[in-house]
Structure 1
Amino acid sequence: MAAVPPVSFDDVRGAAARLRGTAHRTPVLTSRTLDERAGAEVFVKCENFQRVGAFKFRGAYNAVAQLTPEQLARGVAAYSSGNHAQATALAARELGTTAVILMPEDAPRSKREATAGYGAEIVTYDRYTEDRTALGEALARDRGLALIPPYDHPHVIAGQGTAALELLEDTGELDALLVPVGGGGLIAGSATAAKALHPGVRVIGVEPEAGDDTRRSLARGERVVIPVPRTIADGQALATPGELTFALNRRLVDDVVVVSDEEIVDAMRFAFERLKIVLEPSGASALAALLAHRVTPRPRRIGVIASGGNVDTTRFAELLGD
């Protein structure tokens, strides 16, 4: 008997109902210039307009909203380079509880400040020498908090899948869906929704060249561990895919492609100049793959998830400066 997947389409639909009226239904942008560059009809799902500036609010809220009253009374914990940190902090505040967030010392300042601004306590660690998962689990255990992981949790994955669900509701059937890959939660949830609605859609993940842990893992058929990558795409700087996300992505994801940091910057510039939106490096990686023609054969109708826009003005200017 085939194993039951950890997240189903019903879970994604349940998350959509839970998020209705709380998360934003983000816009889908189109551009003739982008269509010409891609040689296809392109639909960009703008999660940079989501609450906290990224898709992460969907999964964090869906997970925190399903805690028991006793768990909510004690508070929640999370570990994150930034977007999940903000998302969990805001979800906790919305649901009347407190949050303690473990963040790397080199997390972007804007993300640290936003997380603290939502009322969370921040604890820091060195991402290159310390294991954030072990630290986060110990933090939650020692303080009696409910741990909300950034991607490897069924409720988080289901929440992230609502981004693709909305996109497909707005666009109808697509030939391909391009999704940034960090720990794999967004693409796992998106693929769950997309394949349920349109089984023929190609779901293609995008990773930075320096951090292709999911691509290597899918090629080998098991999770591999790489050195923590050094890339401008801090939200994708992970050493290995999640256990649950990898189980889903092995079944549902058709391909994973990579882009360079330079190609990500080019996509950020295109988004700013042509689409008039601001994307952070991780948020621009799927668009970068499209503009760099990584998808072959060329689909006719393509969805692109622009996963976030949390980059401060100084960093944005540094990256796009000539």
Structure 2
Amino acid sequence: MRADRLLSLLLLLQNRGRMTAPELAAELEVSVRTVYRDVEALGASGVPVLADRGPAGGYRLADGYRTRLTGLTDVQAGSLFLAGAPGPARELGLGAELAAAQLKLQAALPAPLAERARTIQDRFHLDAPAWFRDADPVPHLARIAQAVWDQRVLHTHYRRWGGEVHRALHPLGLVLKGGIWYLVARAVDSADSTESAEAVESVDSVRTYRVSRFLAVDTAADAFERPAGFELAAYWGESTRRLDAVLHQQTADLRLSPRGQRLLPMRFGAAGVRALEAAGPADAEGWVRIRLPVESEAVAVGDLLRLGTDAEVLGPPELRSALAGTVAALAARYR
């Protein structure tokens, strides 16, 4: 186990350059004291790990030192062939490069690992888009991706719910979520700060844009500096948590039949699963009471109607009344 950790520490320093002991401890999920011991062990084995002191200090490998020992296990080698989904790579303009890279990797692997990688490709397939929904058209994705890579300013024409807007952006990263591409970018001109489902306002003007909503994209010649300390994964996690909190500001009190309990996770995803886990005991007919986070009243009515007669809204009174009014209007329409 320690040998694996030492190899991971060595590869972290090789791939990322200078890292502090706390950063290494976080990556390896060990204590800082353990990092100190592991660094000493690497040095004792002949690996030239240098320690730079001061505010900008940390551990690094001596200039020019690299190890060719990757220590790939059969599972790790196979997982590399699942890491690159061909559809998203093709949309980014990297389909041919991905195929070539996989061929080169497979040719370089020892025979047992190469065979396992081929078996994984035969038996597992990644399909990112959700069911029953066509993928968004993203004609500008490749250009946006190149601007992200080159750190070039983008002049964009963007369609949102309130109309269209021209915006200069510092593109910071791309995220594929549920088959939909999103651009994380800093708005250079912040005259308009209206939130929407496609451009969600964030702290320090970093926002999320749905790539399919870009009507035109032009790459400028001037470059920009990325915000100090910005991490795409950390931003995305915080952004999705913040959006969830903004959307789910109400809680519905429901009764669910046994069939409704089976439908809830399919209709409401993780929120439905959590609501069921906290449900009270079932009554004599198997119905349970739950508290379910919901969006605005208009959205909640449409969502809850999908449960049909297998759910009864007990509260809040305004939501129950709105649902009853919608059902009455439907009955009158089909009478």
Q: TM-score range by the shorter chain?
A: under 0.3
Bigger radius of gyration? 2
Q: Which structure carries more relative contact order (alpha carbon 8 Å, separation 6+)?
A: 1
TM-score (norm 1): 0.23
TM-score (norm 2): 0.22
